[in-house]
Each structure stands twice: as structure tokens, then as C-alpha cells.
């Protein structure tokens, strides 16, 4: 399916995945928190093994959208979702719904503030693995080492795996949280402003990591940092709030969005006029 200049015209975005890839798409997705509608009619097909950046003003529903993609919305009392979210061939809010624990293994989330468990580095990674039935010591060790290698932490922490994760620097804690998602071997990684609490060097480290990870994972990142979106995004989706309801107003390849946006709000937003 080709890109459409005006994403509000997207219909029936969901299609069958190519072999070996877990597809992710939404179709006419709406979300309400009680009487407040936060998202309206969002239809978006996320490209596999690429970085999709979700940008837009504060309150336009970016975080809410991410939470819909692995049913974190279930944890907010009074939230209601309509429309479709499809992960692979499964409609995650449909009748054959995924077990949310399995879904969140497959679709991992990294939050704005690093939130390691108040335990050792080792236990931060061993706990989710044990929760998913991995008990064998050797297998635990191998998967933990591999996840830490993947985020570039192994050389930094391999001699202190039993020290508290809270003693790591902010950037290391965020990489540990990424490792905690990766240790469960997800297909899709959701990231909600993962660098907004980090210094420039740690931010650069995480951006490099994201570019490495996209070879293997589908990444959806919310960022308020347009320069960051320019540096790492392959595709960009712009959300906007209309009378309090977040909508997708434009979606396309990053160069197209940044250099030839079709929606006048996109142009104004990127130029810093709004």
C-alpha cells in the first residue's frame, strides 16, 4: 500500500504480513478515557524493521496511541477502545484477543523515565524471563548476556551484575530498560520519549542503539524532539488535537514529511510556527 498525503483518508490499512515479519497496524482506532475522547479514527500501517516516529504537540494523543498498541490501556480504569489494532494476524481488541502478558512480550514498551525494578541488574532481566517460564540457569545467563550485549551494556556492567540497577547512570538505566524489553525477544518495540530525561551523550548512545535495533525490530518512537526524528526516523506520523481529540493528520517517509509535507499544519509545526 502506498503512502497517502492525508492520512485521515487512510482506510483498511491492515493487510497480511510478509513471511517472517510481525505486522502492526491500526484501523479507525478510537480511545476514550471516560467521557474524554483522546484518539479519533487513527488508521496507520507501521512499516516492519524500520523506525516510525510519532510527533505532534503535547496532548495530541501520542502516548495514548502507543498504549493502545500493546493494551496498556487495559491498566487505565475507564478507558475504552474501538476500531482495530492488529499485531500479525491477531486483532488484539477482538474476540480472539491475545493474552495481554504474551502480547506485551511481543510488543515491548520503553517509557520516558527509566524505570528499572529496585533490584540488581541481573534480577531486572531474570525476573521477566522467569515470569515467562525460563528457569534454566544457563539459558537465563545466555539470554541476559545477549540482551545486555545488544544494548551495549555488557562491557560496562558484566563485573557488577549483582549491584542495584538504581546505581547506574540515567542513560545506562534506560539502556537496561531497553534490554529488559529485548530479553523477552519481542518483535516490536514501542518507545515513549525515551531520551527526554537524558543528557546529549546518553541520547546519542540511545539513538545509535535504535538505528542498530531496527535491523531486527520494528520500532515506534514518540518524540517531541524534531531533530531526533530527523536523525533516526524512516517514517513519520504527525498527530494533532482537534477539540481535544487526537488524530493522525499526516504520515509518510521521513524525507517526504520533512521536505514536502502536504498538510499545512505539518508545515507550520515543522517550521516552529505552532
Ligand X SMILES: Nc1ncnc2c1ncn2[C@@H]1O[C@H](COP(=O)(O)OP(=O)(O)O)[C@@H](O)[C@H]1O
Please, what's the b/e burial string for 238-255 (b: 16 or more CB within 10 A of its CB; e: otherwise)? bbbbeeebbbbbbbbbbe
CB under 5 to 8 A by kind: which of ligand X, Mg ion, none does 58 bind?
A: ligand X
Half-sphere exposure of 55 (CA within 13 A, CB side): 29
Report if residue 38 touches ligand X, rule: CB under 6 A. Answer: yes
Segment contacting Mg ion (CB under 5 A): 34-42, 63-71, 155-163, 255-263? 63-71
Report if residue 246 touches ligand X, rule: CB under 6 A. Answer: yes
Strand partners, 25: 45, 86
CB-neighbour burial class of residue 43 (10 A; exposed 0-12, middle 13-18, buried 19+): buried
Report if residue 223 touches Mg ion, rule: CB under 5 A. Answer: no
CB under 5 to 8 A by kind: which of Mg ion, ligand X, none does 223 bind?
A: none
Report if residue 194 touches ligand X, rule: CB under 6 A. Answer: no
Segment contacting Mg ion (CB under 5 A): 60-68, 74-82, 120-128, 183-191? 60-68
Report if residue 63 touches Mg ion, rule: CB under 5 A. Answer: yes
Cell numbers that stand for 65 in this block: 496511541
Distance (Å) of CA 23 to CA 48, 147, 237: 6, 23, 17
What distance in Å separates the CA atoms of residue 268 and residue 272, rounded to the nearest whole number? 6
User: 76, 102, 139, 162: which one contacts ligand X (CB under 6 A)?
Assistant: 76
Judged by the rule CB under 5 A, the positions of this chain that interact with Mg ion are 63
Judged by the rule CB under 6 A, the positions of this chain that interact with ligand X are 33, 36, 38, 56, 58-64, 76, 244, 246
Amino acid at each position: 500500500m502506498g503512502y497517502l498525503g492525508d492520512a485521515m483518508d487512510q482506510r483498511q490499512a491492515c493487510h497480511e504480513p510478509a513471511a517472517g515479519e510481525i505486522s502492526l497496524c491500526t484501523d479507525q482506532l478510537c480511545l476514550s478515557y471516560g467521557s474524554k475522547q483522546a484518539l479519533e479514527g487513527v488508521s496507520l500501517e507501521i512499516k516492519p524493521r524500520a523506525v516510525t516516529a510519532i510527533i505532534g504537540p503535547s496532548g495530541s494523543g501520542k502516548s495514548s496511541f502507543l498504549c493502545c498498541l500493546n493494551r496498556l490501556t487495559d491498566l487505565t480504569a475507564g478507558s475504552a477502545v474501538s476500531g482495530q489494532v492488529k499485531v500479525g494476524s491477531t486483532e488484539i481488541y477482538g474476540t480472539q484477543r491475545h493474552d495481554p502478558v504474551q502480547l506485551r512480550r511481543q510488543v515491548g514498551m520503553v517509557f520516558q523515565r527509566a524505570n528499572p525494578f529496585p533490584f540488581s541488574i541481573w534480577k531486572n532481566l531474570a525476573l521477566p524471563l522467569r515470569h515467562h517460564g525460563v528457569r534454566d540457569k544457563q539459558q537465563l545467563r545466555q539470554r541476559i548476556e545477549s540482551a545486555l550485549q545488544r544494548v551495549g551494556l555488557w562491557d560496562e556492567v558484566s563485573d557488577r551484575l549483582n549491584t542495584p540497577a538504581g546505581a547506574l547512570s540515567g542513560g545506562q538505566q534506560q539502556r537496561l530498560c531497553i534490554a529488559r524489553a529485548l530479553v523477552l525477544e519481542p518483535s516490536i518495540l514501542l518507545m515513549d520519549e525515551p531520551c527526554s530525561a537524558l543528557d546529549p551523550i546518553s541520547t546519542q548512545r540511545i539513538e545509535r542503539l535504535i538505528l542498530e535495533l531496527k535491523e531486527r525490530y520494528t520500532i515506534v518512537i514518540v518524540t517531541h524532539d524534531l531533530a531526533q526524528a530527523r536523525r533516526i526516523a524512516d517514517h513519520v506520523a504527525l498527530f494533532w488535537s482537534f477539540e481535544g481529540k487526537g488524530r493522525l493528520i499526516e504520515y509518510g517517509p521521513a524525507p517526504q514529511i520533512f521536505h514536502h509535507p502536504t498538510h499545512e499544519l505539518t508545515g507550520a509545526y515543522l517550521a516552529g510556527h505552532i
